[in-house]
Amino acid sequence: QLQLQESGPGPVKPSETLSLTCTVSGGFTSSTNYYWGWIRQPPGKGLEWIGSINYSGTTYYNPSLKSRVTISVDTSKNQFSLKLSAVTAADTAMYYCASLDILATAHGMEVWGQGTTVTVSS
């Protein structure tokens, strides 16, 4: 059974780069039927899609974040990662990684990590 687990350094200072990793177990980031994504949720607010990547490294980004976001996949470590540069307090949120299996739930993200809280503060 596919499981995802986010990890990251915790607090981030304004203007720095936020870096998170999602470790995949029970499946492979090299699988051709999966897309791997990042979603965030500011405290008390709704979900915001950040971007996605597939096994070959093709990426899709939220236009509102595109200039600051990089998503990458490391198939050797079975992980995918998020980097968000020049962070501000507005980037404070719970960050989730999630997977989409086009053969199972087509365009729905069925497996989610538990989320990791990122606070941007000096």
Partner 1 sequence: QSALTQPASVSGPPGQSITISCTGTSSDVGSYNYVSWYQQHPGKAPKLMIYDVSNRPSGVSDRFSGSKSGNTASLTISGLQAEDEADYYCSSYRISTTVVIFGGGTKLTVL
Query: Which residues of this protein are in contact with partner 1, per CB under 8 A?
Result: 37, 39, 46-49, 52, 60-63, 96, 104-110, 112-115
Torsion angle defined by CA atoms of residues 30, 31, 32 and 35, in that order, rounded to the nearest 10 degrees: -90
| Distance in Å, CB of 93 to partner 1, minimum | 13
Neighbours of 104 (CB within 10 A): 13
> Shortest approach of partner 1 to residue 44 CB, angstroms?
11
Nearest CB to partner 1, comparing residues 10 and 44: 44
- Please tell me whether residue 104 adopts helix, strand or coil conformation: coil
User: Nearest to residue 19, comparing CAs of 97, 90, 78?
Assistant: 97
Give whichever of 55 and 60 is closer to partner 1, judged by the CB atom.
60
CB neighbours of residue 28 within 10 Å? 13
Smallest separation (angstroms) from partner 1 to the CB of 68: 15
Gap between the Cα atoms of 17 and 32, Å rounded:
30
Tokens 């096994």 correspond to 55
The least CB distance from residue 76 to partner 1, in Å, is 27
- Of 74 and 110, the one with the shorter C-beta distance to partner 1 is 110
**Which of residues 49 and 55 has its CB atom nearest to partner 1 in the complex?**
49
